[in-house]
Chain A
Amino acid sequence: MIDWFLTALPLPYPDAVVVVGTAVVGFVAGALGPLAVLRRRSMFGDAMSHGTLPGVAVAFIVTGTKAPEPLLLGAALSAALAAFAMIGLERVGRMRPDAAIGTVLSISLALGIVLLTYIAGSGNSEQSGLNAYLLGQAAGMVERDIAIALLLGAVALTVVTIGFRVLRSATFDPGFSAVAGVPTWAVDAASTALLALAVVLGVRTVGAILMVALLVAPVVAARQLTTRLSGLVPLSGAIGAACGAVGGVVSGRAELPAGPVIVLLATAAAVLSVLFAPRRGVLARIRRRSRPGVATR
């Protein structure tokens, strides 16, 4: 089915694969981004995406291949470990959130770089593509990548849809939902797992260093355009998908790392939206302030 869809697109086949693949990845990241942004945990997401690096490297050392499945599994496990470490340092180690995030981010990065450098020196002929996990790469995607992304994305979006009410109340009013019988730790665990999923999906396309921007920028852009969470999730997903698709093709054609291109596009979308959004944008606010009669209506 994917095959049929790809050939139906008015694009050369390799471009079609990249467009669809990066769009799916962008959509999933954008749609799950509110879990980080609205809960004020954006930098937590940053540390988790840095946390994927050691997992990718270890999985490669263990399996010796670049096949995406084991590497993604390794990335997921180590991202979850990073999240667990941060929560542990805050709760048990009594560290401030910023210090806990900074420490975990630093150590995962150091470990990832040590392992990647070690692999690069080991002379394994398969290793050349691993750098993609640092700064991202969209070229070289195959149909199997799309299938994985679609599958995991579908799982994540199903969870969000089913648990939408719980997530919404836990995001906006943690105290209330704890009282209402939803255990906070369960919501925390679920949203952390979902974020890990988004990070892991995006990490090969956008790279571990920049992945957080694909979680955050579409949400910031969409936040200016809608006030309802039920509107925010799909809109942010759509913006993420657009940035992913365009960035993926541009970077592939220009032979640039995909991460920076996609991130700059998404940031541009966020900046434009912050400035020019019809009601909440900076320009609209200034105009309203200079014409006070309009605002009161």
Chain B
Amino acid sequence: MTTADDLMIVLIAGLLSTACALLGSFLVLRRQALLPDAVSHAVLPGIVLVFLLTGERASLPTVLGATAFGVACVAGYEWLRRTRIVGSDAALALVFPALFSLGILGIGQFASGAHIDLDSAIYGDITFAPLRTMRLAGVVVPTSLVITGIATVLTVLLVALLWRPLHASTFDPEFAELGGLRGRAVGQVLLVAVAGLAVVAFDSVGAILVITFFVVPASTARLLANRVGTMLVAAVAVGWLSSLAGHRAAVAFDTSIAGTIGLTSGALFLLALLFAPRRGLLVRTLRRARS
């Protein structure tokens, strides 16, 4: 049985998957697949901080404030990495768990209550998204839908506007820089966008599953596509398919919606890994056996 609430949840998850898959594809191609993990850990204390200051959880100031905090942390990490005191992987494993710890303790100490708690930080609460509503032009709509929708539209616009510099600088950074396509600046814009999207995603899927939405559909699409354009379309499709099937599975087994969506995309990844037309293990094994 499908209710309007179910539809709303699938819609929110699908929109979120769309935005994450678009940016995630470029992150995977740029070998920055772990960036969303770092960013989602870093925005948590930012969200708590803004919540303490404003008492708001899903509002424009929260998104902007927490995004700024996350970007500042990642920029600080980049600086630390460049000083070469600590290896880059160790710096990643040092800085972001600590920030996440601050966020967790902050929630436990100061912010626990009706609006933000440990469970929602970890599991997300997309289940209750249809219940928290706002009035938009006289119509009552879920706040999450509005915020996720805006974030998705902005992400699509961003990717469309920056298509050439993103494409060229990911493929051949030196060529892009020389051709005046501003690869480095585009990388920074990408970081800010990922941080903003991680904050938006926190509201629906919690802090720790964010990376799933960025990386798994993109990795799946990478196995299927030979062009970036096709890859983005495939990643978005995997995202929607996972949202739909994941929601169904969550209802059937009475479990976490964000988790089942992640798990469905994981299953699609496995299918692609085995059966992808050119890069799948099956085809490659057959090709090797024949030659």
Query: Which residues of A does B touch, CB under 8 Å?
Result: 36-37, 40-43, 45-46, 89, 92-96, 98-99, 101-103, 105-107, 109-118, 121, 134-135, 209-210, 212-213, 215-217, 219-220, 256-257, 259-261, 263-264, 267, 270, 274, 282
Point out the residue from B86, B92, B95, B273 that lies within 8 Å of A43, measured CB to CB. B92
State the main secondary structure of chain A at its contact with B.
helix
Contacts of B243 in A (CB 8 A): none
CB pair A213–B97 under 8 Å, yes or no, is yes
Whether B37 pairs with A213 at a CB distance below 8 angstroms is: no
Residues A209 and B256 in contact, CB atoms below 8 Å apart:
no
Residues of A within 8 A of B266 (CB): 103, 106-107, 110-111
Residues of chain B in range 249-270 having any CB-CB distance to chain A below 8 Å = 250, 253-256, 258-263, 265-266, 269
Q: Which segment of B2-10, B63-71, B208-216 sits at the interface?
A: B208-216
Q: Which residues of A contact B89 (CB under 8 A)?
A: 37, 40-43
Task: Apart from A42-B87, A118-B253, list 20 A-B contacts with CB within 8 A.
Answer: A37-B89, A46-B93, A89-B273, A95-B219, A99-B31, A102-B215, A105-B211, A110-B212, A110-B260, A111-B259, A111-B263, A113-B262, A117-B256, A135-B118, A209-B100, A209-B122, A257-B104, A257-B108, A261-B101, A274-B86
B98 touches A213 (CB 8 A): yes
Q: Specify which chain B residues have a CB less than 8 angstroms from the CB of A270 in the assembled complex.
A: 94
Which residues of chain B have a CB within 8 Å of any CB of chain A? 28, 31-34, 36-37, 85-87, 89-90, 92-95, 97-98, 100-102, 104-105, 108-109, 118, 122-123, 208-209, 211-212, 214-216, 219, 222, 250, 253-256, 258-263, 265-266, 269, 273, 279, 281
Q: Which 9 A-B pairs have the closest CB atoms?
A: A110-B262, A260-B101, A213-B97, A107-B266, A114-B259, A102-B33, A106-B212, A42-B93, A113-B259
User: Smallest CB-CB separation from B262: which chain A residue?
Assistant: A110
Cα distance, A99 to B100, chains bound together (Å):
22
14 contacts between A and B (CB under 8 A): A40-B89, A41-B89, A43-B34, A43-B89, A94-B279, A99-B31, A106-B262, A107-B216, A110-B259, A113-B256, A117-B256, A209-B208, A259-B101, A261-B101
Chain A residues near B209: list those with CB within 8 A. Answer: 106, 109-110, 113
Chain A, residue nearest B28 (CB) = A99
Contacts of A220 in B (CB 8 A): 86, 90, 94
Residues of A within 8 Å of B102, CB to CB, are: 260, 264
A245 to B256 CA separation, bound complex (whole angstroms): 34
CA distance A274 to B212 in the complex (A): 33
Query: In angstroms, how far is the closest chain A Cβ from the Cβ of B30?
Result: 9
Total number of residue pairs linking A and B with CB closer than 8 Å: 175
Does B219 lie within 8 Å of A102, measured CB to CB?
yes
CA distance A92 to B219 in the complex (A): 15
Is the beta-carbon distance between A98 and B32 smaller than 8 angstroms? Answer: yes
Q: Select from chain B the residue with minimum beta-carbon distance to A95.
A: B219
Q: How far is the CB of A252 from chain B (nearest CB, A)?
A: 14
Closest to B215 in A: A102
Q: How far is the CA of A133 from the CA of B215 in the complex (A)?
A: 24
Interface core residue of B108, B208, B269, B281 (most chain A CB under 10 Å): B208
**CB pair A114 B256 closer than 8 Å:** yes
Chain A residues within an 8 Å CB radius of B105 = 256-257, 260-261, 264
Q: Judge whether A99 and B33 touch: CB under 8 Å.
A: yes
B261 to chain A, nearest CB (A): 8
Whether the Cβ atoms of B212 and A212 lie closer than 8 Å is no
Q: Known contacts A40-B89, A113-B259, A274-B86: does B108 contact A256 (CB below 8 Å)?
A: yes
Q: A118-B253, A263-B101, A282-B85 are in contact. Are A96 and B33 (CB under 8 A)?
A: yes
Asked if B93 contacts A101 (CB within 8 A), the reply is no
Nearest-Cβ distance from residue A64 to partner chain B, whole angstroms: 18
Contact check, A114 vs B255: say whether CB atoms are below 8 A apart.
yes
Q: Which of B28, B37, B89 has the most CB of A within 10 A?
A: B89
In the assembled complex, the Cα of A37 lies from the Cα of B262 at a distance in Å of: 29
- Residues B34 and A93 in contact, CB atoms below 8 Å apart: no
B175 → A minimal CB distance (Å): 21
Min Cβ gap A276→B in Å is: 13
